[in-house]
Amino acid sequence: MLMTGAQLCSYDAFKDLLLSTPYFTNGLALHFSASLLSGFVATTITSPFDVVKTRVMNAGPTSPYRSLLQAMVLIVREEGVRALYKGWTPSFVRMAPQTVLTFIFLEQFRGLYWNSYARHNCVKFE
């Protein structure tokens, strides 16, 4: 849920931001750029939770962690905030193409819907 929420919110925000510049018009370059930036945001937001989850799962029955929050605090205290972003690059390499393809397909399907169905059936979008 966290990743999907981060992707959806940031995609629309980046799309609006990029459209407000003179460099982008509605098209493939806009959708690619906004979705790539959205993947960056989603990776950055979810990375700490992935690190904590992995640490708790790998700790086994002799885990020093009593809860996810306590694990996050302990990791930051012992290793620093940067430890929460270990593995960020492989996560981005995995998540960026998925995010880019998802939003490019979304925009293509949205265009097909509006061009083939909505206009002919007087569907209003405001």
Between 62 and 91, name the one with better pLDDT: 91
Q: What is the pLDDT of residues 1-42, one digit of tens each?
A: 889 999 999 999 999 999 999 999 999 999 999 999 999 999
Is the pLDDT confidence value at 77 over 60? yes
Q: Which pLDDT does position 124 carry in this prediction?
A: 63
Q: Which pLDDT does position 20 carry in this prediction?
A: 97
CB 21 within 8 A of CB 64: no
- Counting Cβ atoms within 10 Å, is residue 67 exposed (0-12), middle (13-18) or buried (19+)? exposed
Amino acid letter at 29? A
Q: Can you tell me the mean pLDDT for 50-68?
A: 89
Residue with tokens 């265009």: 111
Between 3 and 120, name the one with better pLDDT: 3
Please give the share of the chain, as a percent, with pLDDT higher than 90: 76
DSSP assigned state of 22:
T
Is the pLDDT confidence value at 123 over 70? no
CB 103 within 8 A of CB 31: yes
CB 96 within 8 A of CB 102: no
Calculate the average pLDDT of the chain.
Answer: 91
Report phi then psi at 7, rounded to 5: -65, -50
Contacts for 117 with CB less than 8 Å, ≥ 6 apart: 123
